[in-house]
Every structure is written in structure tokens, then in C-alpha cells.
Amino acid sequence: MSPSQNACRCSQTETLHIRSLAADDLPEVLEIERLGYSHPWTEAVFRDCFRDNYRLWAGCRDGRLVAYAVVAYLADEAHLLNLCVDPRRQRQGAGRLLLRHLLSEAGREQMFQTLLEVRVSNEAAYRLYQAEGFEEIGRRPGYYPAAQGREDARVMALRFSR
């Protein structure tokens, strides 16, 4: 199945349809990644995430992949490694819905908490994570590559009640 055919499996309504990300989605994922980040992941990095202890999610709207998330499960923690919304489709709720879905799934799979890192300069993502219950628990100095050197990351956590 070609990537464009794969995208057509998504809902044709304005509602975000969330499904497992497939290897066939990688051309669309790589395009969104390239548009969304100054230092995008490579295809090899994404391919390496298709493992049993990872959860990869696709968010589709109007029959097209508009967002994705990559989560690693380590012991009883879910680590959100990448959540990206196509910049041409941002501020329409896709990121929030995808985040809520992956959190729901992590809880269903008995994870204790979800962790993530976010660039200190990414205020929109930081506000989203705060609004969804994440708390800043630390910083990672020089964690992200940046145009001029490196940029710090906020480390955030959301603990699930048991």
C-alpha cells in the first residue's frame, strides 16, 4: 500500500482519527518532521522505533496524516519521545487529542507515569503539557541541538493515579 493510500484509511471527517503508525506512513511522517523541527529525526531513527516496547500513533484528519507521536515504554514509565503536528495544521486541537490518546493508552497499559522533554523555547508545547497535567521536574542542559549551539530541555512528568 502506498503512503497516500494508507492516509486514505483515516477518517474523512474533521474529527481526528487516531491509529497505530505504520512503516508505510514514514514518507508523510518525514515530511511533517522536516517542516516541524530545525533538527529532524532521520528515517533510520523512526524505523528503529518499530519495536515491541514502543507505541507509535498517527493522527489523521480529512484523510491525511497530520500528526504523530512516538512513545517508549520502559518498565512502568512511558517516555514521550516525539509528538509533532504538521505546522500547516497546528492550533486545531490535533496535538491535544493525540496527547490525550497516548496518555489514555499508557494508563490502560499500567504505566506509572509519562515523561517528556520539551525545548525551553517551545512555549506552545510547554503550555499544552501544563494544561494536560504535566509538571516540570527538572532541566537537561544542552539537550537539544540548536541553530547556535545547544538548547536546554524542560523535563516534565505526569503521574497516573492508581
Q: Where are the beta strands (DSSP E) in 25-134?
A: 54-61, 64-74, 77-85, 113-119
Portion of the chain with pLDDT greater than 70, in percent? 91
* Catalytic-residue membership of 129: yes
144 flagged as catalytic: no
C-alpha distances in Å from residue 151, one per residue of 65, 86, 121, 136, 144? 29, 22, 8, 16, 5
Q: Which is it for strands 113-119 and 135-146: parallel, antiparallel or unpaired?
A: unpaired
Q: Is the pLDDT of residue 10 over 50?
A: no
* Residue 122 is assigned to a ligand binding site: yes
Q: Does domain 3-159 have CATH number 3.40.630.30?
A: yes
Q: Residue 63 pLDDT more than 80?
A: yes
The one catalytic residue among 31, 77, 105, 117? 117
pTM of the model: 0.88
Q: Which of 73, 129, 144, 151 is an active site residue?
A: 129
Evaluate if residue 13 carries a pLDDT over 60: no
> In this predicted model, which residue has the larger pLDDT, 42 or 1?
42
What is the rounded average pLDDT of the residues 117-130?
95
Taking the mean position of all CA atoms in its chain, how far away is CA 111? 17
pLDDT band, residue 152 (cuts 50/70/90): very high
